[in-house]
Homo-oligomer: A and B are copies of this chain.
Amino acid sequence: MQALKIMKQFMEPQSVALVGVSRYTGEEAFNILENLLSYGYRGKIYPINPSVSEILGVKTYSSVAEVADDIDLAVIATPRALVPQLVKECADSNIKAIEIVAQGFLDASDEEGKQLQKEVDNIAKASQARILGPNTFGTANAFVNFSSTFIKIKMKKRPIGIICQTGAFFVGFSEMAFIGKGIDLANGCDISFPEGLEYFENDSETKVVALHIEGMQDTKAFVDMSRDIARKKPILALKTGQSQQAAKAVQSHTGSVTGRKEVWQAAFKQAGVIQASDLEELIDLVRTFSVLPLMKKSKIGIATISGALGVMAIDASQNFDIGIDALSPKTQKLLSMMAPSWLKVSNPVDIWPIMIESQPVVKPLIDGLEALLADQNLGAVLFIGAAFDEKWGTGLCQLLSELAIAHQDKPLICSIYGPSAGQAIKEMQDAGKVVGFPTPERAIKALARLNEYSRLRSGL
């Protein structure tokens, strides 16, 4: 319980001391205070800088000792040599949650780095303070408009919790803000995956937990915890550093021990953690699992405006082991009645020849998707379509979101090509009902993993 309480101070601080914050602001100043003010954080902020009396209109203090109120979290952003003394001051002021932003500890190649780390360890051990980092981007929480990052990030109240060993996940990928809540363990000298997992297990705002793992000390504790949590919330993991050469690079990044690839694969499998094969898949899975419901059946139905991309979906279904079977006679009949006589309706359903003979063209698309979504034998529906321009893209997003709302228990996923595909996919993600991908293969791959997890949860 003590660890969970301190994790809440890291994630939902009501007061934060910014130790060593600079008087310089604006571009290239990377000023944590300036960023924090821009998010609209409502907690108390205590900038610690002995050289000035205020920064950006906020009163500064010469040290944390000078602050009379309780401080939930201290963020230390100074050159590394000053860090041990400042950690000591924080611990002496009874601050329990401390982030160290500086680099050059276990990630450094010199002896001084190791020595500094030892000093920090000893201070933490002697007090009850917990350390996040060093070399950390800190924590972020869109639900309270808080982040301790020195780069200004975009957050969004998404039900996604990320535990990572790099700030890149805070900065984001694919032009979408992923950070609902994030913890950058970085070097992970103290706070590590178990503490992060415990926080997200107990956090009602988080539905999906994503992990970026370079290495950790206690994999057994991790597997044991994950096994329990994965039965309640999906855990999606990317394990990097899969070769000797990569292990060396990890050493100078976070100083972690990487472990063997096969051991990790077995551990994830045992724990029920869904392992992503690369960064792109992790992002795809986070997007998918945070929006779509679980699959109640394993087979999927596909409607496509491009026969060629339907063929690609079938190819992918074979590679990622998810079934595209014949449609039920009822669905088959319903769709055949709409189609031109020469068109043999099968799965994938070639919907374009039906659309092109209709006014408006989207009517058969809606009816066709309705038929697939209503089919009790299908566990999910994939639509392959195009955003020919912005208007088409927005129209598709609306149409698909409405269908998804009417069929909340069945995942509706899509693959969108065309000049406005990226915009349409982003709009869908923001609407939060349907998930879109730029190619059918990626949509199929994501569905295959959703199916895998759905089977785990249903005990099959």
A: residues with CB less than 8 A from B are: 28, 30, 80, 103-104, 107-110, 112-113, 151-152, 154, 164-168, 171-175, 177, 212, 214, 240-243, 245-246, 248-250, 252-254, 278-280, 306-312, 314-318, 324, 340-344, 346, 348, 350, 353, 356, 359-361, 386, 388, 417-423, 438-442
Contact A311 B418 (CB under 8 A): no
Q: Is the interface of A mostly helix, strand, loop or mixed?
A: loop
Contact A353 B308 (CB under 8 A): no
Q: Which of B103, B240, B308 contacts A214 (CB 8 A)?
A: B308
The 10 A-B residue pairs with the shortest CB-CB distance in the complex, in nearest-first order: A166-B308, A253-B307, A109-B344, A108-B342, A246-B314, A104-B342, A278-B441, A279-B439, A175-B422, A168-B306
Task: Tell me the complex Cα distance, A172–B252, Å.
Answer: 42
Contact A241:B152 (CB < 8 A) given known A171-B417, A442-B280? no
Task: Tell me the complex Cα distance, A440–B282, Å.
Answer: 13
Task: Tell me the complex Cα distance, A271–B241, Å.
Answer: 36
Chain A to chain B contacts (Cβ below 8 Å), 16 pairs = A28-B360, A80-B342, A103-B353, A113-B342, A168-B308, A173-B439, A175-B421, A175-B422, A243-B315, A246-B314, A249-B314, A249-B346, A253-B311, A278-B312, A280-B441, A280-B442
Contact B174 A279 (CB under 8 A): no
Q: Which of B309, B359, B422 contacts A28 (CB 8 A)?
A: B359
What residue of chain B has the Cβ atom nearest to residue A426's Cβ? B422
Question: How distant is A59 from chain B, measured CB to nearest CB, in Å?
Answer: 27
Task: Tell me the complex Cα distance, A174–B165, Å.
Answer: 29
| Chain B residue contacts of A388, Cβ below 8 A | 151-152, 171
Contact A307 B419 (CB under 8 A): no
Task: Tell me the complex Cα distance, A459–B14, Å.
Answer: 66
Task: Tell me the complex Cα distance, A254–B306, Å.
Answer: 11
Q: Which of B241, B248, B422 contacts A422 (CB 8 A)?
A: B422
Contact B315 A171 (CB under 8 A): no
Contact B310 A419 (CB under 8 A): no
Question: How distant is A37 from chain B, measured CB to nearest CB, in Å?
Answer: 17
